[in-house]
Amino acid sequence: MMKRILFLSLFVFLAVNNLMAQEIPAERTLVFGMNTDGSKHYRIPSLITTQNGTLLAVIDKRGNDIGDLPNIISVVAKRSTDNGKTWSEPIVIAQGDKATNKTYGDATIVMDKSTGKLITVFAGDNGLWHSNKNNKMGIYTSESTDDGLTWSEPRSITSQVYKEDWYGAFPASGRAAQLKDGRILFVLAARPTSDWGGALHNYACYSDDSGKTWSISSTPGDTYGDEAKIIELENGNLLMSIRNRNKGYRKFSVSTDRGESWSAPYVNEDILDPACNGDIMRYTFKKKNKSILLHSLPYSSSIRENIGIYTSEDEGKSWKFRKKICNGYSAYSSLTVLPDGSIGALVEEGKWDNDIPGEDGFNIYFVRIPIKWLLTDKN
């Protein structure tokens, strides 16, 4: 009897481990490694596919200090023209400078579908909790009209997007959204009080003129939120996915007026959230005339580890199955659709947590995920 129990236990162990091994796609490429290109630390991935089919990976180059702003940070990018197999040398979007105390970070990116122009929005000047009404955390934008090869000088839009009573604000890094009518949106996490570590309000920031001017929603999607993303639903409503600072499960809010006002936030227990930034996007099956939503996040309610991709077939009402794309400690992620129809993910593998043993730091990997694999054996 004992031998039979041991045999069954071994069988289950091997079966589970085999399943876990099969879960991870084989195609992984290191894009930004620790201690490369003159920087020990890289963080905050953003990924997009350009009009020409180029992949653009945008990142914070943080030097020897892993910390957020006001650490001296540069926003840089790499390009891939072969579906993520190889990547270019780094391209500077916004250069940090210790001598002048210039610093930028937390970039979000979008492509204007009508022109192919790439638009990045990022923070600068000060840290969120150091920011105040006299020394604000600035909001900047930079553009590229040559497929990400060169970028315009950072332009401040701080005065356009700040409400009078804010103490600080920063854009949620990753992908911004563009609606069918051309409106571009991203989410600002705004600090409404002087309290260190206090509440953050999630406002939609939008442009109707390809990024020239920007406006802020009249109401927030959450009054105790953090980094958040927006996706347009098939019925024209907008869904805001919000990082849950209390950890546990993901929060959401809905707008029925193109992002001008937002519903009270609600929790969806289909998606775990260890208080982390992730990405949300639509995938359209051209031949089948249908689409699904994809959402990347660590698969844990408390620790940033095991990034997976959730799938929704009912416009975000439920997220009933997921596939893991990273083993072990992993945090922020960004998603895009590749020219060949597969999914590309740019992910942080590593950790920044004194309570977890080991060296702090991240390697930024590109993972290519066949859509058929993503939807096989829904779990």
SS3 149: coil
- Judge contact between 282 and 291, C-beta under 8 A: yes
d(CA 73, CA 75): 7
pLDDT at residue 23, rounded to an integer:
58
DSSP state of 3: H
- Judge contact between 332 and 348, C-beta under 8 A: yes
Task: Decide if 269 is inside a domain.
Answer: yes
Overall domain count for the chain:
1
pLDDT at residue 193, rounded to an integer:
96
Instruction: Extract the tokens encoding 257.
Output: 């007026």
**For residue 237, which phi and psi values (nearest 5 degrees)?**
-70, 160
Confidence bin at 376 (pLDDT 50/70/90): confident
d(CA 241, CA 268): 10
pLDDT at residue 341, rounded to an integer:
94
CATH number for the domain including 124? 2.120.10.10
pLDDT surpassing 80 at residue 12? no
Q: What is the pLDDT of residues 310-363, one digit of tens each?
A: 999 999 999 988 999 999 999 999 999 999 999 999 999 999 999 999 999 999
pLDDT surpassing 80 at residue 14? no
Task: Decide if 284 is inside a domain.
Answer: yes
Task: Decide if 34 is inside a domain.
Answer: no
- Residue 374 vs residue 231, higher pLDDT: 231
pLDDT at residue 119, rounded to an integer:
98
Sequential DSSP letters for 241-304: EE--TT-EEEEEEEESSTTSS-PPPEEEEEEEESS---EEEEEEETTTTEEEEEEEEES-SSS-
pLDDT at residue 134, rounded to an integer:
93
Cis peptide before 70 (omega within 30 of 0): yes
- Residue 268 vs residue 3, higher pLDDT: 268
pLDDT at residue 26, rounded to an integer:
67
pLDDT surpassing 70 at residue 4? no
Q: What is the pLDDT of residues 18-46, one digit of tens each?
A: 434 445 766 999 999 999 999 999 999 99
- Around Cβ 97, how many Cβ atoms within 10 Å? 11
Task: Decide if 359 is inside a domain.
Answer: yes
Task: Decide if 353 is inside a domain.
Answer: yes
Confidence bin at 286 (pLDDT 50/70/90): confident
pLDDT at residue 163, rounded to an integer:
95
pLDDT surpassing 50 at residue 1? no
Q: What is the pLDDT of residues 188-229, one digit of tens each?
A: 999 999 999 999 999 999 999 999 999 999 999 999 999 999
pLDDT at residue 289, rounded to an integer:
81
pLDDT at residue 140, rounded to an integer:
98
Q: What is the pLDDT of residues 88-132, one digit of tens each?
A: 999 999 999 999 999 999 999 999 999 999 999 999 999 999 999
Confidence bin at 378 (pLDDT 50/70/90): low
pLDDT at residue 150, rounded to an integer:
98
Stated as kind and residue range, the H or E segment containing 67 is none
d(CA 267, CA 246): 11
Task: Decide if 330 is inside a domain.
Answer: yes
pTM: predicted TM-score of the whole model, two decimal places: 0.92
Range of the domain at 87: 43-374
Task: Decide if 2 is inside a domain.
Answer: no
Q: What share of the chain is helix, strand, coil (3-state, %, to 5)?
A: 10, 45, 45
Catalytic residues: 68, 227, 332
158: amino acid identity, one letter: T
d(CA 129, CA 75): 20
Confidence bin at 236 (pLDDT 50/70/90): very high
Task: Decide if 78 is inside a domain.
Answer: yes
Confidence bin at 8 (pLDDT 50/70/90): very low
Q: What is the pLDDT of residues 151-172, one digit of tens each?
A: 999 999 999 999 999 999 999 9
